[in-house]
Amino acid sequence: MSGVSDSSPIASVNDHAGRLAGKPDAWMRTYVRQVAIADLAAAVVAAVAAVGVRFGTRPDDRYVVLSLALPLLWMIAVRVFGGYERRFLGSGSDEFRRVLNAGLSLTGALAVISYAVNNELSRIYLLVSMQIIVVLDLVFRHALRKRLHWRRIHGQCMSTVVAVGQARR
């Protein structure tokens, strides 16, 4: 590794954001954690709202169990569709597309599984919960992204990059 020094000022200075400048992934780990918490919160709110819309104050026990499992199922679906991949978080439309794909796929999977096991899952519960999850998750991720962009404008949440090649002439 010629030409790279471990004693460079970038690798040893703490920036004002509280993260080590020599550890560029520290802010990304925090951002991924915030996105996961937002996903979980969206799913919990959606599950509670769907039970409330469908059953009012007296939910069926099956739907209580499903509502408890829904946040975990949502996070698994988002993970499977690449919603936590670092290269897509914070920029571009791929992050939002992955959330939409996870929502459509989980809705379809729950409907097919319900039909296959003759469970007769309430369509109202399914549609309300999945629409709320997807919309809330997109709103939360958009807000997190706006905050990330603001922080980047102020010199925070940046990654060190080494560009190799010849300068343009």
Instruction: Look up the pTM and report it.
Output: 0.74
Distance CA 144, CA 150 (A): 10
Torsion of CA 54, 99, 43, 29, to 10 degrees: 180
* Mean per-residue pLDDT of the chain: 78
Average pLDDT value for residue range 127-139: 91
Nearest to residue 35, comparing CAs of 148, 158, 156? 148
CA angle 38, 42, 46 (to 5 degrees): 170
In terms of phi and psi (left: phi > 0; alpha: psi -120 to 50; beta: otherwise), the region of 120 is left
Domain ranges, ordered by start, for the chain: 9-153
Q: Is the pLDDT of residue 140 over 90?
A: yes
The C-alpha atoms of residue 36 and residue 86 are separated, in whole angstroms, by 12
Q: Is-contact 142 42, C-beta < 8 A?
A: no
Per-residue pLDDT for 4 more than 50? no
pLDDT tens-digit readout, 24-73: 577 778 888 888 999 999 999 998 898 888 777 777 777 788 888 899 99
pLDDT of 120: 75
* pLDDT at residue 7, as a whole number: 37
**pLDDT, position 103:** 93
Q: Which carries the bigger pLDDT value, residue 96 or residue 158? A: 96
Is residue 83 pLDDT above 90, yes or no? no
The C-alpha atoms of residue 167 and residue 156 are separated, in whole angstroms, by 27
